[in-house]
Every structure is written in C-alpha cells, then in structure tokens.
Copies of this chain bind each other. A is one copy, B any other.
Amino acid sequence: MHAVLQAVCEQTGISSPMNREEAEAVARLLKAVADPARLQLLSALSASPKGMACVCELTEAVGLSQPTVSHHLKVLTAVGLLRREQRGSWAWYGIAEEGVEALRQALNYPLPRAAFV
C-alpha cells in the first residue's frame, strides 16, 4: 500500500481528533485530487464501461493534450488513487478502490445531531 494511503487508513479508525501527521497525509491525498482536470479524469474512468481507459481515450474526455493528461494520471497514480497497467505500448488506467475508499473514509465525519438545534 502507498505510504500516503497507509497513513490515511491508520487514522480512520481513530475517533479522537486527527494529529498533525495524520492530517498531513490526508491533506496530501486531497491536494492531489483538488484539481478540475483530475476530477474529470477520475469521473471519466469511473463512468467508463470497461472500468479502465487508455490515455488516448482520456484526452478526449477532458479536452487536454496527451502530455498534460499523462502528468495528471501520474500524480493520481503516485498517491494511490489510480492503478496503471501497461498493455503493449499504451498505459491503461483504472480507479484504485483502496485509494478512493481511503479518501471517503478520511472525510467520514460523524455528524452530531445536537448541533445548532
């Protein structure tokens, strides 16, 4: 498991407030995804009927050049949100379940019903 994801997962079992180290790991994950093009790429991959796509298909979905799309895919793969598979001369990408789940869990704040009543 990626180091960033591991740190995120370790914190999610804790009900007490996040410590600084845990918060930094979650912030790194969120910063990687807090970009319009990367959100579009994640969305396009999620909506892909095959569950994965090659860079050539993704450039069309987001309307950006291939080097730009490749850079964004590299960043998302580096933090563990995407998985990469080499097929011949093309790299294929799919959403990494454990990464997206870690992201969701990190934002899974229990919502106190008593607030502002």
Please give the distance in Å from A56's CB to the nearest CB on chain B. Answer: 16
Q: Tell me whether B23 and A39 are in contact (CB under 8 A).
A: yes
Instruction: Check A1 for interface membership: any CB of B closer than 8 A.
Output: no
A80 CB-CB contact with B under 8 Å: no
A72-96 Cβ-contact flags toward B at 8 Å (1 or 0) = 0000000000010100000000110
Q: Report Cα–Cα, A30/B16, bound state, in Å.
A: 22
A4 CB-CB contact with B under 8 Å: no
Contact of A100 with B by CB under 8 A: yes
What are 10 A-to-B residue pairs whose CB atoms are below 8 Å? Answer: A17-B44, A23-B36, A27-B39, A31-B34, A42-B109, A45-B109, A50-B115, A51-B113, A52-B112, A52-B115
